[in-house]
Structure formats: structure tokens, C-alpha cells
Structure 1
Amino acid sequence: MPRRVLLVCTGNICRSPLAEGILRHHSQAAGLNIEFDSAGTHSYHVGEPPDARAIQAARARGVNIEQLRARRIEAEDFARFDCILVADHANLQALQARLGPVSQTAQLLLAKAGIDPRGEVPDPYYASLREFEACFDLLDRAARKLLSSWLNPA
């Protein structure tokens, strides 16, 4: 079971803070001692809270992400975290382009969860609240599967 998990998306205001909040929520409920954080591959929103629609979708399902603030991933994160989960292929490629070989340890979140080996978490940024809710539901499913696999390794 990992002890430190980093979730990564583009700007760190939609998918990765949702994933961080959901995983933290479920791991605390299970009594697990896992550190979660999130970051973006780009610095578009550094210091900003999650998108209001992400906050709303999470709050409606009992998960609080309001206190989170966007940050950009740094090379040091690869030494600090033992599991780095990325929302999509474009962000995996961005890690490789920016950080080089160190980014080889990052994996697609949905693949690691066993949901879809090539699947991507759709970016709801240019969409409506409904897409943020669907994103939350997909990430919630992935989080439950990840935690189950970490608690019951094959």
C-alpha cells in the first residue's frame, strides 16, 4: 500500500483536486494513514482554489475540497511520493517533456485502478456542472477500486 499519493491533471483545479479529496475521504473513513496531494502539469491556476463546479460536485457528495490550492508539479515530487497517478495521456506526456525520465514512474489513474488500461478521466473544465458530477462519479469509482486493491493486494 502506498504511503504518499500524488494526483495530477493539467491545472490542478478540476480532476486532480477531486481525486485527492475523494481518496482522502475514503481512506480516512477506512482508517488508513495515506498522504494525498495533487498538482498540475501547468501553472495556469497556481494558488487558486478548485473550480467552483468541482467544489459544488464534491460538496453535494460529502467531500470537502475547498481548502485545496493549485500548484505545479516539481521534480522533487517524484522523490516524495511513491505513487503518482495522472488523469490522461496528455499530462503523462507533459511530465515527460518537462521532467524527463523521472516522470516514467507516473501512471494513468484509471489504468492503475483497473477500470480502463488506456482510459482517461475527461476534463470537465469547459463543460457544465453535470460533467463535473460525472467526473466525480468516475473518480469515486476509481478511488474505491484503488483503495480496495491497496488493502487486498493480489
Structure 2
Amino acid sequence: MSDALDSLTGLIIPLAGQPLLLPNVAVAELVGYRVGQTAPRGPEWFIGWASWRDQKVPLVDPGLLMGQPPTEGPGTRILILNAVGGRPGLNFIALRIGGIPRSRRVLRRELAATGQTGDFVSQQVQLLDEEQPLLIPDLEAIEQVVTEVLAAQ
């Protein structure tokens, strides 16, 4: 098997609960935490909009969305994700995260599926030298609920 299929460069994203594991290519930028506009209504996980590069980007707390504690505190940042679903008007999603992500080369042989999937979790995994299991988010499902919330605003 080729190296491209045996490994990828990922980011371990800190949250208040379980961290996320995302491929580098999903991430557009990491920025300081600042809400451009709060949401007047909607689910608790939908915070509002972040202002990024002269755009309003929907801002989500992924921990709350996945049933974890909210991610708040002095190290809070915003991670801008590239939208992957091709939904009109949704090019990026902003995630409220608990600090600076760590880059990590993920080798297939060091990765084991460990838990149940969920509405917004594609897989829970354990990396060989990580203490805590990591969640691989279902970005398509997250984009879908964000699209539905935005339509109701």
C-alpha cells in the first residue's frame, strides 16, 4: 500500500470534553476568539457568526453539538473549516475550540476504532500514544444541521 493510504497529517483539536481529530486539509485557518454577531435564536451549540476575512461564518461549539461540555475559557480560539458538502452559501464553518491544535502524523497501524458513532461523530478512535480517545466528526452531518439552523434565522 502507498504511504498516502497508510498515513495522513491530522490535527488534534482541543475541546472541553473529548478532542477532535481532523485532517489538515479540512482546516482553513486558526484565529482568535471573537463573536461577530450572536445568534438571536437557535440551538445552544449555534453561537452566532464569526467575522473572518470580510465574511460572516456560522460559529458552532462542536462539544455542545456532540453532547459534551461547552468549550469556553481563556485559551478559546476559532478554527475555520472548509465546508465539504457543496451547499450553496456555506463555504466555511467556524468551530469554537479550547486552544491551539496539535499537528500529528496519523499512521494507519497506530489507529484503532474504539467507540460508537453518533449523529455528528463518524468514529471514535484511539491513537497509540494519545491518552484520550479522539472523535472524528461527521462534517457532512454538521454542515447539514448548520444549513438548517441558518435557514431558520
Shorter-chain TM-score category? under 0.3
Higher strand share: 2
Larger radius of gyration: 2
